[in-house]
Amino acid sequence: MKKSRLALGIVTLLSLGYISASWYTGNVIEKNFDHLLQETTQKINDNQHLFSIEISKNHYERSLFSTTSHLTVTLTFIDPNNAKEHHQKIFDDNISIYHGPFPIAALAKGSFTPKMAWFEYEMEEQTSPILWKLSGNKPFITAHGGLSYGNYLTVKLMNKAISATKSELDALEGKLDISEGDFIVEANPKQTFVSTAKFDKLNYMLNNNNYISLDSFNISTAPTPDGSGVNYKISAEKIQANILEYYISGLEIQNFENNGNYTLNNKDILPANSKTSIDKIKINSTNLPFIKLPAVEIDNLSITQDNYLNSQNSINGLINTNIGSLSMGKQNLGAGVLSLNYEGIEKTFMGYPIFSSSEKEESATNSPVDFKFSLDNFNWHNDEGDIQAKAYIELLDNKKLTLNTDFNQLKTFKLKFDVPFKVLARLLTQFQYYSDENISPEEFKKTYRNLTLMEIIFLRKNPFLVFSNNDNDKGFYTDIDYDQNREEVLINGKEISKHDFFNNLNKRLP
């Protein structure tokens, strides 16, 4: 009997303690709720300039173990061209907040660590009757999240799978299929946000000739270590598409991944660097207006690009591309490498910034800046050898950079390429006989003879070309070295005057 009374007393004390803790936590939440909304709003608005956000509380009702509040979230977009504001309400609904230290709703979700608060949300039918119906008469979006006593916040949003056409969603022109997905946001006491979004399947079909499908699609973002920008990662296990406008049929991309970062510079969003890797690209056919190409396959493609604003407010950067192998039809055409560097490109020429809320785009610089472009390495390798090229060009005043640049702007020009006939002949023969497993020696020799004939008839008098290298390999070779400070131009080891150089160059330019 005494033991039963003792146990009952302990349970009573624990119950009173839990009730008191829940009441106290609910009181703390109520006192700090407005401040939390204000702090979250300010942090989001300070870290980006795509839009401004406003979070308002329209109703607040606290009970012993939980609180119900009605929140409205409105985005305001500013058009820099006409300074007009566009308002978009993205949330206008009730949320339920359960008080700590052990919210009952959190325990039901399998979360047993102490929390100051736990919230849950289910989109109501009245919020979007169409999405409710498409979700099988259930909430299209549900969410839950927890705030620890150390002010660490975790929020998880989940959506139901839906399939919709224009008859259900007027904004659609085709059919949209979305699998179940989730979106997770985590924030630490410094209000640093990390987010991830995952979908097993995303499909959009405009018609039988135009569609795109993504499998295992993921996006994640996190602030850069110095807080000046955002790191991101986008990946998909498979992407399939038909794009009739671009004459692409049966595109398939396997294991796509792109990661990089964006820099936040005052009111501008600038791309800093990115790296893309793809295991395989397949294109069934390409029906161009003038030619029909066979199936193309690219293996182990990687592209790296770095960009940054220099002290003259123009763009410096680099691009590196590697192709593990390229196949056309049944022919493996080889592998390639491309490395580029550039300096002093007018930032608007490169599409900078991606977004700006400034009313006027500031000029890159008031004084002329030299433009420099370097082809550090181009190499295409097949079974017969390598095609190689390098180039360097420097122009005065990047603001005057056009396709018809004046030769007076040319400060430095260097070009060197080696195109052995045997390597080129193999490529051309493979193009011609792409449906065969292999090319025959006779087919190869015929193409080689045609190249030699073209050299003799059409190119023999070209002053910029020689047709054999130091190893006596037949081919197209050149080595040009022009410097504005020199009176002579070096072409394949010989000096000619600038006048003759530009005169010959003019004759061969379109």
pLDDT in tens, 404-440: 556 778 899 999 999 999 999 999 999 999 999 899 9
Cα gap 46→158, rounded to integer Å: 27
pLDDT over 80 at 205, yes or no: yes
Cα gap 315→307, rounded to integer Å: 7
Neighbours of 77 (CB within 10 A): 13
Q: Kindly report each contact of residues 452-455 with a partner whose C-beta sits within 8 Å and lies 24 or more positions away, as own/partner.
A: 452/421
The position carrying tokens 């029906």 is: 287
pLDDT band at 58 (very low <50, low <70, confident <90, very high): confident
Contact present, 194 and 183 (Cβ < 8 Å): no
Which pLDDT score, from 0 to 100, does residue 9 have? 44
Neighbours of 413 (CB within 10 A): 19
pLDDT over 60 at 336, yes or no: yes
Give residue-wise pLDDT tens across range 282-335. 988 766 666 677 889 999 999 999 988 788 878 889 999 999 999 999 999 999
3-state helix, strand, coil in the chain (%, to 5): 20, 50, 30
What predicted TM-score, i.e. pTM, was given to this entire model?
A: 0.82
Q: Which amino acid would we find at residue 92?
A: D
Give residue-wise pLDDT tens across range 214-249. 999 999 988 888 777 788 999 999 999 988 877 778
Neighbours of 108 (CB within 10 A): 12
Cα gap 172→368, rounded to integer Å: 48
Please, which residues have CB within 8 angstroms of residue 214's CB and are 6 or more apart in sequence? 199, 201, 202, 203, 236, 238, 239
Average pLDDT, the chain: 82
pLDDT band at 67 (very low <50, low <70, confident <90, very high): confident
* Tokens coding 242: 């038909």
Q: Kindly report each contact of residues 66-70 with a partner whose C-beta sits within 8 Å and lies 24 or more positions away, as own/partner.
A: 66/26, 66/96, 66/97, 66/98, 66/99, 66/105, 67/26, 67/29, 67/30, 67/96, 67/97, 67/99, 68/94, 68/95, 68/96, 68/97, 69/33, 69/94, 69/95, 69/97, 70/94, 70/95
Give residue-wise pLDDT tens across range 471-483. 788 999 999 999 9
Query: For the chain, first and last CA: distance in Å?
Result: 107
* Tokens coding 141: 């979006």
Which pLDDT score, from 0 to 100, does residue 178 have? 94
Give residue-wise pLDDT tens across range 128-141. 899 999 999 999 99
